Amino acid sequence: MTALVIAEHDHASIKPATLNTVTAALACGGDVHVLVAGANAAEAGKAAAQIAGVSKVIVADSPSLAENLAENVAAQVLAIASNYSHILFPSTANGKNVAPRVAAKLDVAQISDITKVDSPDTFERPIYAGNAIATVQSSDATKVITVRTTGFDAAAVTGGTATVETAEGVADSGKSSFVGREVTKSERPELTAAKIIVSGGRALGSAEKFTEVMAPLADKLNAGLGASRAAVDAGYAPNDWQVGQTGKIVAPQLYIAAGISGAIQHLAGMKDSKVIVAINKDEEAPIFSVADYGLVADLFVAVPELVKAL
């Protein structure tokens, strides 16, 4: 029984989501291999070989894999899929783009967004915005899985001694082509990797107030900035800051929610955070039901005071 983890990488280094996926793969019980499908990706391959618990890294190098086109990456996975009992992807935009293609071609059911491995064929996954946990047993020969990264600790980035093999890169599928990419650049930590997140809600009232009140707190704590969907929909914060069921799923060491009511769709994205602090002027706000520390206060007073105290 061998599991294959599809690495998330930038050709030179391995992205953190890969590490949580390796932990999930190890829990499946067998050997763990990592596929690095990229172009000039030898450095990423070397980094993957250092991950604790990985026994083999396969580097597939081809110009067709330079831009991570899902059609080509899926073909690369399928080229070696028959060697594996489990194929695991991080539940990221990339992983979720490739995994269904692989599952469909293998004629198996995808097992989505797992948060726990009970046994090699039985997995747990949240449903109904995290309000229930489904235990899913699969009888498929190959388990194609996406892994909710917040459900698993990151494997250590060093300590591994995997062998590195090269595989022939697939030819371009011809089904899609790379046109361009606009990447958001930010000085702040990326939300899904941030150790601390400060999030603002509808209560902020405007984009200007959101920046004026929340940014100094994020700066003091070197935190990522998040937002509720109401704040995003109202234009107070950009779309990629949204935390929740239809935004990002995060589990930082510290999550500070200011002026966020705590609707289930928001909680679905942050309730696994290690320590949750809520600031809300309504003591009945549902956010307090998941908060470790709650402050019933006007955020326009409390947040600047907090910044000053820090």
Ligand X SMILES: Cc1cc2nc3c(=O)[nH]c(=O)nc-3n(C[C@H](O)[C@H](O)[C@H](O)COP(=O)(O)OP(=O)(O)OC[C@H]3O[C@@H](n4cnc5c(N)ncnc54)[C@H](O)[C@@H]3O)c2cc1C
Q: Which residues bind ligand X (CB under 6 A)?
A: 201-203, 228-231, 242-247, 259-261, 263, 265-266, 269, 279-282, 285, 298-300
Nearer to ligand X, 114 or 302 (CB): 302
Nearer to ligand X, 11 or 229 (CB): 229
Nearer to ligand X, 3 or 278 (CB): 278
Q: Which residue is nearest to ligand X (CB)?
A: 244
Nearer to ligand X, 125 or 229 (CB): 229
C-beta contacts of 29-32 below 8 A and 24+ residues apart: 29/1, 29/119, 29/120, 30/1, 30/2, 30/3, 30/85, 30/86, 30/120, 31/1, 31/2, 31/3, 31/55, 31/56, 32/2, 32/3, 32/4, 32/5
Nearer to ligand X, 123 or 210 (CB): 210
Q: At its nearest, how many Å lie between ligand X and the CB of residue 224?
A: 15
Q: At its nearest, how many Å lie between ligand X and the CB of residue 26?
A: 30
Exposed, middle or buried by CB within 10 Å (0-12, 13-18, 19+), for 105? Answer: middle
Nearer to ligand X, 84 or 288 (CB): 288
Q: Which helix (H) or strand (E) holds 305?
A: helix 299-309
Q: Give the whole-angstrom CA distance, residue 256 versus residue 245.
A: 18
User: Which residue, 127, 132, 143, 194, is CA-closest to 28?
Assistant: 143
Residues 6+ apart with CB under 8 A from 115: 124, 125, 126, 133, 148, 150, 151, 152
CA 95 to chain centre: 9
Q: Give the whole-angstrom CA distance, residue 48 versus residue 12.
A: 10
Q: At its nearest, how many Å lie between ligand X and the CB of residue 210?
A: 11
Q: At its nearest, how many Å lie between ligand X and the CB of residue 193?
A: 19
Q: At its nearest, how many Å lie between ligand X and the CB of residue 161?
A: 41
Q: At its nearest, how many Å lie between ligand X and the CB of residue 302?
A: 7
